[in-house]
Amino acid sequence: MNSMLWLIAILFVSMNALIAQPKGYNYDEGKVPKYTLPDPLLMTDGDRVKTVKEWETQRRPEILELFKKEMYGRAPGKPANLKFSVFDEQQVLKGKAVRKQVEIQFAGKADGPRMTVLIYLPPKAKGPVPTFLTLNFRGNHTVADDPNIRLPHSWVRGRTKGETVDNRATEKGRGVAKSRWGVMNILKRGYGLATIYYGDIDPDFDDGWKNGVHALYPKPKPDEWGSIATWAWGLSRALDYFETDKDIDHKRVAVMGHSRLGKTSLWAGAADQRFALVISNNSGCGGAALSRRAFGETVKRINTSFPHWFNDNFLKYNDNENACPVDQHMLVALAAPRPVYIASAVGDKWADPNGEFLSGIHANPVYQLYGLSGLPASKQPPVDSPVMGRIGYHVRSGKHDVTDFDWEQYLKFADKHLKPRKK
């Protein structure tokens, strides 16, 4: 009988291991390939950056251009006919919040590509408030139990390439993702929260670049914007609106994203220096995790499963990560001297928590150039034990998600870096 129980236990553990680790992908630190990271302070001509001016005028533009050319893609600037329309503004949540809804028309036409920004602000704020700007996966109406939030008008993420729409895109979906947002806690701490359904900007499937904002532009060339760069472009258009809103402090906006939208927030913060603080939540490959580690999700896997996320030039680095002239620590460094927070989850090995931490560590030399400490840790901290310098990091217990614990750290980090210091 004991032998039978042992056999069952072994089979159970083996089956769980197969479920946890997709076939052909590495979760073993001992099998991480040898790699050498590009030096963020070494210019392509061989000269080493010695001053902030050299970083800002020479090396930073050089790295930014490499990421555009080889990975995320070049995006157009602000559209000439961009139009903002505030169609809802009132006190809600029993007087504990001011809700605004803003339609941003990318071509200035109501029947053209457009996105809706949902904004919650503290009701008794004395002047413009610092604000978290995020993208969401299922629609603004999923963020809170609020019957008057506009439902999605565009493609909605479903079960098969966007063709199958589930109930979360309808009235039944109101508030289903509220656990990820903590709206009341954010407001109580004196911050605003703004969110946009990412499908309003660009649908998340390989549609041949025919929908969303891409309908206004020619088909992308190999070095032009994939969906991540497109979603980041949409975040910048929201920031364009914030510059016109007297209730939002557009100079103190934190861009935050989870998973593929964490990849997006990192790129948005790199491409648009107006963002004051950048937050990556479980962003993994193509986000905060070092590509050269090939741990969990890899460049080849991401390019195969989601060919629309990056530009076509990035395909060159399938099973060839060491040939890429950049890696993700350099993406983190592009935010310098602005604060960056990187978050991992111990149960999310697919996103390579250690690789995310190492990106923060290897971005430190750029922050130190500014006289800042960067990430104040020499090794990955214990679970649920955040560290916060100019770069913050934690690996929390749990899985691939956004939790109250995550938000508590982001609020503390924002208190440290975004709120004015008391005299």
As a whole number of angstroms, the distance between CA 40 and CA 72 comes to 18
As a whole number of angstroms, the distance between CA 334 and CA 284 comes to 17
Do 277 and 250 meet the contact criterion of CB atoms below 8 Å apart?
A: no
As a whole number of angstroms, the distance between CA 30 and CA 4 comes to 32
As a whole number of angstroms, the distance between CA 414 and CA 278 comes to 10
Which is it for strands 114-121 and 97-105: parallel, antiparallel or unpaired? antiparallel
Which is it for strands 248-258 and 129-136: parallel, antiparallel or unpaired? parallel
Examine the residue annotation and report whether 179 is marked as an active-site residue of this protein.
Answer: no
Helix H segments across 218-259? 227-242
Give 292: exposed, middle or buried? Use CB within 10 Å, 0-12, 13-18, 19+: buried
Examine the residue annotation and report whether 85 is marked as an active-site residue of this protein.
Answer: no
The secondary structure of residue 308, as a DSSP letter, is T
Closest CA to 83 of 52, 122, 109: 109
Among the listed residues 154, 227, 236, 259, the single catalytic one is 259
As a whole number of angstroms, the distance between CA 231 and CA 364 comes to 27
What does residue 27 show for φ and ψ, rounded to 5 degrees? -120, 20
Active-site residue set: 259, 400
